[in-house]
Amino acid sequence: MSLALGFDLSTQQLKIVSCYQDLSLHSKYSIDFDEFKDIYGIHKGVLSNRDTGEVVTPVKLFVHALQTLLDRMHNDGFPFDCVTSISGSCQQHGTIFCTRQFDTLLSNLNPASDTWHSDLSNAFSYENASNWQDRSTGEELAVFEKALGSAEKLCKITGSKAHFRFSGPQMRRRAKEGGVHWEETAHISLISNFLDSILSGKVRGVEIGEACGTNLFDIEQNDWNDELLSLILMKNSNVDGVPLGEQQEASLKARQLLKTLVEPDDYSTIAPYLAKRYGFKRDCKVWPITGDNLATIMSLPLKHDDLLVSMGTSTTVLLLTKNYLPSVNYHLFKHPVVRDIYMGMLCYSNGALAREEIRDEINDKYKTVKWDKFNEILDTRKSPDREVGIYFPLGEIIPNVKPCKRIFKYSAAKGLVEVDREVELDDQVKLIIESQALSNRLRVAPLLTDVETVKEKSVTRDIESARKIVGDSVTIDHVAYTFADIIKRPNSVYYAGGSSQNASILKIYNDILGPKHGGYKVEVGDACALGGCFRAIYGYNDSISFQDWLESKFDFHRHTSPIERDETHAISTWASYLDKVAILTLAEQQLDC
């Protein structure tokens, strides 16, 4: 028997999943961090300071939880000697600051000790790791964008504009504070490569996909950006006023702090103390640990031009693309394994909350409960012709605008006008679902490589109708695209999250996105841990791509359910929404930032 382990070190818990070589599940274990709340004072895995916006997690908690869970697995009789490979994921962006003693303390860790978290106390220059929920780096965000001239230029290099949760601004904030803790810092780790280091028994560098979440990594050059690295040490010539030579020295020192980047084929072997305590074989491979969203895309057989739509409280769209087209309104990361593929990530604030507001109004009107009446209307109501809705009960990220609820209508005679009458509530059932799916469709289209749809004779009339609305150039989030950029279709779309259980919502969403090879409801639990586990089983293989390998082994019947649609009319249904896509681009230009 040969097993692989997939770790998922998230905000509130640690999960470990084991799988056989055929990807079938062997077992899974988990531990909630709040089990240790009396020791570390945490709540839901973190310590929060409302006054400063700082959100952190004690570093020793990660080690404490890891040893505790492995001990429980050992006591349960888990066959560690059968594990041949390990990988996994962690919460993204979090930073851990280590002393010069980190490597030595790791290599000398006593397998018989029950208190590794205490044994490593002197390994950390700061006792807490930053958490992705942290919002204490406002000043640092402005500095990062100023260093390169604008948010757009920073995004062009790193795949994202400056964000609160990103690692680089967190590092600069620590440097600005200075003091003895900063002076003791000899190595800066992300949470992901910290776990990699603990599992390997030696300091490991940042995995390349995770590096994209730092605002420090030049994606196209596949290396740290020296100008941005200098910001960590407060030695950037543009914003800190230091001579260029001093900036270059700072960049070199920052590289030493972060260590060498870890490529997809760079594995280590299990730490000696883990082998002796639990019975791992010494040649058990530890493949690079990545971030949670990146691991999620490895839990499914996604190929380029495929989407994963997570329909939860917020909406997140993950897609695989060969096109590097960065935007300040979404993120691009390198794929952890496939070298010529990027992962796009679109994060919307308004998801289930906006849908539920209209549902609640429908239930008040008809004296009904749950989703039954909403779904009935959605299934039978005709879509309002050439009308689009904007439903943002919360300030939205994509596009970056204030909360609002507005409805627009387009006609050839009047152009775009805002509807000032009270729109019938039943019509809004259709409009709310359409608005969210149309926004997803509009923004993913330029990242796709589809060149076939525009040639389909059956959609020519709809294409020309939409072109008359917007012309040959389309502006999306202040970026100009050609009309051809917005009429591309994804290959396959996978849907997950709470609302993916609603067949009526899913049908409209799938009709609008119009995947060429169909849509699928995903029924994969523990996706981050599983993605890590699948990555560990694959390892690295030049003879077959990770995507082809996973597709050949993945149990579609067990883990996905195809969304029913009339295949003969799928492309014409997709094309029927082209007018609304065009109208949405005009409507969004009327919104307040």
Q: Return the pLDDT at 592.
A: 79
pLDDT digits (tens, 9 = 90+) for 273-324: 999 999 999 999 999 999 999 999 999 999 999 999 999 888 999 999 999 9
Q: Which among 533, 529, 525, 521 has a CA at the least distance from the CA of 557?
A: 521
- Mean pLDDT across the chain: 95
Give mean pLDDT, residues 258-265. 95
Q: Residue 504: which CATH number?
A: 3.30.420.40
Residue showing tokens 């490569």: 193
Distances (CA, A) of 233 to 25, 61, 189, 225, 414: 46, 28, 15, 14, 57
206 with 85, same domain?
yes
Name residue 514's amino acid: G
Residue 446, pLDDT above cutoff 90: yes
Average of per-residue pLDDT across 143-172: 96
Same domain? For 206 and 233 the reply is yes
pLDDT, tens digit, for every residue of 343-386?
Answer: 999 999 999 999 999 999 999 999 999 999 999 999 999 999 99
Residues 133-162 have a mean pLDDT of 95
Whether 80 is covered by a domain: the verdict is yes
Buried b (16+ CB within 10 A) or exposed e, 245-282: ebbbebbeebeebbbebbebeebbbbbebbbebbebee
Domain enclosing residue 215, as ranges: 3-293
Statement: residue 218 has pLDDT above 90: yes
* pTM for the full predicted model: 0.93
Q: Is residue 498 part of a domain?
A: yes
User: Are the CB atoms for 13 and 45 separated by under 8 Å?
Assistant: yes
**Both 33 and 60 in a single domain?**
yes
Query: Is the pLDDT reported for residue 90 higher than 80?
Result: yes
Has residue 468 been placed in a domain?
A: yes
- Quick one: which of 71, 82, 145, 486 has its CA closest to 284? 82
376 in the same domain as 303: no
Residues 142 and 159 in one domain: yes
Last residue of a domain, one of 267, 293, 319: 293
Structural domains of the chain, count: 3
Pairing of strands 307-311, 493-496: parallel
- Contact indicator for 85, 537 with CB cutoff of 8 Å: yes
Pair 578, 555 in one domain: no
Q: Are residues 13 and 116 in the same domain?
A: yes
Confidence class of residue 55 from pLDDT cuts 50, 70 and 90?
Answer: very high
Given a cut of 80, whether residue 457 has pLDDT beyond it is no
> Which whole number is the average pLDDT over 136-161?
95
Q: Could you give the CA distance from residue 345 to residue 348 in angstroms, rounded to a whole number?
A: 10
Tokens standing for residue 2 = 């040969």
Amino acid 593: pLDDT = 67
pLDDT digits (tens, 9 = 90+) for 393-433: 999 989 989 999 999 999 999 999 999 888 999 999 999 99
Residue 336: the pLDDT is 96
Distances (CA, A) of 389 to 350, 383, 418: 13, 11, 10
> Which pLDDT does position 265 carry in this prediction?
94
CA-based nearest residue to 478, from 161, 157, 147: 161
Is 218 contained in some domain?
yes
On whether residue 505 sits in a domain, the answer given is yes
Q: Is the pLDDT of residue 447 over 80?
A: yes
Out of 293, 317, 332, pick the residue that ends a domain: 293
Q: What token pair was written down for 385?
A: 């012709």
| Contact (CB, 8 A) for 280 and 74 | no
Query: Do 62 and 81 belong together in one domain?
Result: yes
Claim to verify: residue 372 and residue 341 sit in the same structural domain: no
Tokens at residue 519, please?
């849509």
Say whether both 275 and 322 belong to one domain. Answer: no
Do 328 and 385 lie in a common domain? no
Q: Which two tokens stand for residue 371?
A: 């989703």
Q: Does 184 share its domain with 284?
A: yes
User: Is residue 567 one of the residues assigned to a domain?
Assistant: no
